[in-house]
Amino acid sequence: MVLKKTLYIYNNNDGEVAYSGKENPNTTSHNNNKTIGDSMKVNSPHQPGVTEKYDDIVAISELQFDDDNIKLYGKDNPDYFKTLQNDIKVRGLKNPVVVYPNKIVKSGHTRIRACSEDFTHIPVIWSVTSKPTDAFENMMSLMMENQGRPLSISRQYNQITTSIEEWEKQNNNQTCADSIIKDLICPASQMSWNMFQQMRTLEAERHDLFKRVMDSDGEALSPGKAYQFMKDDKVNTQTINSSSSM
């Protein structure tokens, strides 16, 4: 069964916003709390008993994606996106998206894209803070807000390197200190400092192994295993060179 319903938004007798499959002739908009003559119909993935507490239901067309989010996360994983899309269509949206007061999305870009083909509106939580004007701070905020997403080695590594580049750009091309990467950026991306060091070394010294890790997202070859291969190859090369010089 595919969930696709029209909800009518109005105030119930207790003065609270209610949702129903029937029209209320004197409805109040949940968005701006102004009385309107006709019922407000919205096609939303809100599902009672499934959708967590939210502040509002907003037209998807009114929401604006954050460019920094696209830099950090890139394209959606096709399999994950399709699974999420089907789950929302059948069961409803569990976690509302988080939106800044100016309607720029803070968390939930993928959920919005997954809903956009089947729904016109989406439940939102209004952020109590404004979007950071500093791009680096905004990236940190986005990563912290999206820590519930499935982990991905390639995406996490891209988040770290993108954040490093932004920090250096804002600091007159000064090299980003390891302490900043270790204490701020790595925790926000949920990649350990040790794994990042391995990946950074592989990218610099063994791009073939680095590419295998990134292309398979660590499934065909983990960062730790690739790093060990690199170390073993160095030892073998040294041994061969020593034997040749004798």
- pLDDT at site 146: 81
- pLDDT at site 149: 75
Q: Could you read off the pLDDT of 205-224 as tens digits, one per residue?
A: 999 999 999 999 999 999 99
- How many other β-carbons are positioned within 10 Å of the β-carbon of residue 67? 11
- pLDDT at site 20: 39
Residue whose C-alpha is closest to residue 69's, from 107, 24, 19, 120: 107
The neighbouring-strand residues paired with 17 are: 11
- pLDDT at site 237: 82
pTM of the model: 0.68
- How many other β-carbons are positioned within 10 Å of the β-carbon of residue 225? 15
The neighbouring-strand residues paired with 121 are: 59
121 token code pair: 């509106």
Q: What number of CA atoms fall less than 13 Å from residue 95's CA on the CB side?
A: 14
Residue whose C-alpha is closest to residue 209's, from 232, 229, 194, 191: 229
- pLDDT at site 179: 96
43 CB contacts (<8 Å, ≥6 apart)? 4, 5, 6, 7, 118, 119, 120, 121
CA 56/CA 159 separation, integer angstroms: 30
- pLDDT at site 244: 62
| Residues in the chain, pLDDT under 70 | 1-41, 241-246
